[in-house]
Amino acid sequence: MPEKAPFFVTFTIMARLLNYIYDSDLKEIAEKAGSGIRITPQEGLILYEKADLPFLGLISSLVRKRINGNSAYYNRNFHIEPTNRCIYNCRFCSYRRPSGDPESWDYSHEEMLEIVKGFDDKNVTEVHIVGGVHPSHDIHWYGSLLHKIKTHRPSIHVKAFSAVELDYMIRLAGMSMEDGLAKLKEYGLDSIPGGGAEIFDENLREMISSEKTSSELWLSIHEKAHRTGIPSNATMLYGHVENYSHRIDHMNRLRILQDKTGGFNAFIPLKYKKANNTMSHIGEVSIIEDLRNYAVSRIFLDNIPHIKAYWPMTGKIIARLSLSFGTDDLDGTIDDTTKIYSMAGADETHPSMTTGEICRLISEAGYQPVERDSLYNRIC
């Protein structure tokens, strides 16, 4: 009974708040969210357009606590970014460099295995592998890398390759997606990240990343991965040329797929950053918009258990604030092993946090730090 007291208090506060909500649409949405009833896409759009930030903070926190209690998760992880060469040239991308550019890289298996060995004396549980779509590396080249990593450190969870990378490397090897995913699982793939989703609206996708894997194929690859026993995450790139209806459409497509497979572990809203790309004239949305987006995501995506604030993108202060707007996961320690957001102008130019720093950040926000593995099983 004592464990349920905070939920009772929150429900009591919300019940009182409802008496002061004069907008009938928002009042109905609050009642539905508070009762665990799914809101519609139209209601999600209403939240974006009409709800103020305090309202969104309260309702998203209520949903968050119902799903995840007072817990806020993190893990011990590091990244490998095999290359920033890429066959695609997306307008929003600050990461891609052509071969021969002084800022380009193209690691060998041996160089990447040395990165793994550099963590031999550290209690990491996950390696995250994602990079550019290399023109000549197929599934077997990457699969051999996974096999070498697993041979060296069998217990580590390998989360690797966006759907865009998978699409190309599997086609390059002349395999079907189903066979390719099964083969990668055999090589040592444990889960896949959510990158490459960008925004699903086909017209916008044509504007910002016309060459890339289609929205339909991105969703199909994740569905096939889930049915192969490979869980994944999902992302959404926001704050560029999209509007609120595009965001709701994107999340609704994810919600529909999650109803079918249950394979998404977490949703990660990724903010467009303006440095070093051809869309820089657009600028960036505000912190208020970041928090609004987290909150609506938590309320709308009732069937995806975790909403992640990727702190190398947001910065540590906004990540802490986001915990009061629906997020329950801050990613991990990272140890200065990713350049994707630093090359786009993120404040965290050398992203790294100790577990002590993450735990302090979470505790200062009023939540309970929980170390997790890659599938959200509690480690401590």
Span 38-71, pLDDT tens digits: 999 999 999 999 999 999 999 999 999 999 999 9
- Cα–Cα dist 172/170, whole Å: 5
Q: What is the CA radius of gyration of the chain?
A: 20
Confidence of residue 335 (pLDDT cuts 50, 70, 90): confident
CATH number for the segment(s) 72-371? 3.20.20.70
pLDDT of 186: 98
**CB of 328 within 8 A of CB of 71?**
yes
Output the six-digit token pair for 273: 């950053």
DSSP letter at 282 equals: G
Closest CA to 289 of 93, 49, 58, 25: 49
pLDDT greater than 80 at residue 303: yes
Confidence of residue 1 (pLDDT cuts 50, 70, 90): very low
Q: How much of the chain, in percent, has pLDDT values that exceed 90? A: 77
Least confident of 201-210, 240-249, 254-263, 271-280: 271-280
- Tens of pLDDT along 262-296? 999 999 999 998 888 888 899 999 999 999 999 99
pLDDT greater than 90 at residue 162: yes
- Cα–Cα dist 375/125, whole Å: 11
Closest CA to 169 of 200, 150, 192, 199: 192
> Over the chain, what is the mean pLDDT?
91
Instruction: Give the domain ranges of the chain.
Output: 2-67, 72-371
Confidence of residue 76 (pLDDT cuts 50, 70, 90): very high
pTM equals 0.92
